[in-house]
Copies of this chain bind each other. A is one copy, B any other.
Amino acid sequence: MDVMQSLIRECRSGIPDMVRAGAAAEGIDPAALARAVAAGRVVIPVNPRRTAPPCPIGEGCRVRVNVNVGTSGILCDEGLEVEKAKAALACGADTLMDLSTAGDLRNLRKRILTLPAPVGTVPVYEAVRRAGSAADVDADCLFRVIRDHCHDGVDFLTLHCGVNREALEALKADPRIMGVVSRGGAFHLAMMVQRGEENPLSAEFEYLLEILADEGVVISLGDGMRPGALVDAERLAKTTEYLTVGRLAKRAMAAGVQRMIEGPGHIPLGQIGHNILTIKEVTDHAPLYLLGPLVTDLAPGYDHVVAAIGGAVACMHGADFLCMVSPSEHLALPRIEDIVEGTRVTKIAAHIGDTMRRPQALWEPRERAMAEARRALDWERQFTCALYADPARKIHARDGDLDTCSMCGELCAVKMIRELFEKEGTAGKE
């Protein structure tokens, strides 16, 4: 397993093939991408045991979208989770995470790993399952699961290394209404409190890095202390974890392990900027992966929209990777239609993020093509330019095959102005 363990080092001296392929897919300069990987500002999660398409995540790259799938104790239908994963990819999801907690975990993981995208997991879920309860998970059990996931071909692992004694003390010193809302974070706290031990991912972080370096797997430093409510956003546990994660991010780089960072959570819109900038600062600008941020708690059923607002703004400040939030967030395990709606809305937020982050030449042509199609009232061309043609076509078609749309009919401003300027001999066009 020599190929991946050294991707960071290889990028210091040249441009590996995987980086060339990733750069081509991104439309960016391969040498710049190699420098960004070498500096830890971009990760490319590809387990060398399988061949997921290279999906660079970080500075200069498109904002990527991950979609979570997975069984729960209440709804456990492996076939359905595979269908959800396929539906997500059909909507343009860039990566998948399998967060299953019930059923034949390994079998489902292997099925999801056959799909053409980088796949992530949260090994502590399976450790709890194997041990029977969080209190029964010891370091051996946890590291065994981590190794198994690497061997199965998982490309990135969410590991809650920042949930340590210091974080627990911060949580007690400055309590929060929602306590801890990260499932992985909660498992680790339960292990720590009930066993009276430090989190093994923290205590044996160097050993963890050895495994990941051997396996060429990316670590995603989980945000077990992310606030679970707007009113919890300014409590100490969150920033304590930022600092811990920042130290661990440096150690991962030193060990040649690609790492990214997971960030909040539930925070008010006005606090996104300094949170993102703080995380970027303390982690030497590691790629940042966000769930949300959710910028209000008052809109269950519409959390996909709330997360899109928070996510787009987070991208303004440097977030790189958005986790899909579905309309069923906080309410239920998503159904396929929730996955589709959530993925579309998150991808729209990611594209809006791209308009902030990427050179104009990389996003403007498609926006320009849409404007030209609209000017021409060429509906098929509009649908081709659209991120999602089907919902647009369906709405437009419902009132018949119209030249304009049923909003304005003959009073269409675009049509009026086009005709007016054509009559006058002045092209209102570049």
A residues near B (Cβ < 8 Å) are: 72-75, 101, 125, 128, 134, 171-172, 175-183, 185-187, 189-190, 193-194, 228-232, 268-270, 295-302, 305-306, 308-309, 312-313, 316, 327-328, 330-334, 344-345, 348-349, 351-352, 355-356, 364, 366-368, 370-372, 374-375, 382-383, 385-388, 391-392, 394-396, 398-399, 402, 405-414, 416-418, 420-421, 424, 426-430
Q: Is the CB of B297 within 8 A of A370?
A: yes
* Complex Cα spacing A185 to B194, Å: 68
Can you tell how many copies of this chain the complex includes?
2
Q: Is the CB of B193 within 8 A of A424?
A: yes
Residue of B nearest to A368 (CB): B231
Q: Which of B177, B183, B385 contacts A298 (CB 8 A)?
A: B385
Chain B residues near A413 (CB, 8 Å)?
179-183, 185-186, 228
Chain B residues near A426 (CB, 8 Å)?
172
Residue of B nearest to A329 (CB): B407
A360 to B: closest C-beta gap in Å: 9
> DSSP class of A's interface residues: helix, strand, loop or mixed?
helix
Chain B residues near A308 (CB, 8 Å)?
305, 308-309
Q: Is the CB of B296 within 8 A of A367?
A: yes
* Complex Cα spacing A51 to B104, Å: 65
Would A183 and B391 be within 8 Å (CB), given that A270-B355, A375-B178 are in contact?
no
Chain B residues near A183 (CB, 8 Å)?
408, 411-413
* Complex Cα spacing A236 to B235, Å: 46
Q: Is the CB of B228 within 8 A of A405?
A: no
Would A406 and B74 be within 8 Å (CB), given that A230-B371, A392-B300 are in contact?
yes
A183 to B: closest C-beta gap in Å: 5
Residue of B nearest to A328 (CB): B395
15 example contacts (A-B, Cβ-Cβ < 8 A) are as follows A175-B429, A180-B413, A181-B414, A186-B413, A193-B420, A193-B424, A229-B374, A230-B371, A231-B371, A269-B355, A298-B367, A298-B386, A300-B386, A301-B386, A327-B391
Chain B residues near A171 (CB, 8 Å)?
428
* Complex Cα spacing A69 to B313, Å: 30
Starting from the known contacts A298-B385, A299-B386, A331-B405, 8 additional A-B residue pairs (CB-CB under 8 Å) come to A175-B430, A181-B413, A186-B417, A295-B312, A298-B348, A300-B392, A301-B392, A309-B312
* Complex Cα spacing A389 to B114, Å: 40
A193 to B: closest C-beta gap in Å: 6
Chain B residues near A297 (CB, 8 Å)?
367, 370-371, 374, 385
Chain B residues near A194 (CB, 8 Å)?
420
* Complex Cα spacing A186 to B419, Å: 11
Residue of B nearest to A334 (CB): B407
Chain B residues near A269 (CB, 8 Å)?
312, 316, 352, 355-356
Chain B residues near A368 (CB, 8 Å)?
177, 229, 231
Chain B residues near A270 (CB, 8 Å)?
316, 355-356
Q: Is the CB of A72 within 8 A of B406?
A: yes
* Complex Cα spacing A182 to B407, Å: 13
Residue of B nearest to A387 (CB): B298
Q: Is the CB of B406 within 8 A of A333?
A: yes
Chain B residues near A179 (CB, 8 Å)?
375, 413-414, 417-418, 421, 428-429
Would A306 and B370 be within 8 Å (CB), given that A301-B386, A301-B395, A332-B398 are in contact?
no
A388 to B: closest C-beta gap in Å: 6
Residue of B nearest to A416 (CB): B186
Residue of B nearest to A312 (CB): B309
Would A332 and B407 be within 8 Å (CB), given that A172-B426, A179-B414, A392-B301 are in contact?
yes
A430 to B: closest C-beta gap in Å: 6
Q: Is the CB of B177 within 8 A of A372?
A: yes
Q: Which of B134, B185, B352, B399 contacts A306 (CB 8 A)?
A: B352
* Complex Cα spacing A429 to B177, Å: 5
* Complex Cα spacing A387 to B300, Å: 8
A126 to B: closest C-beta gap in Å: 12
Chain B residues near A398 (CB, 8 Å)?
332
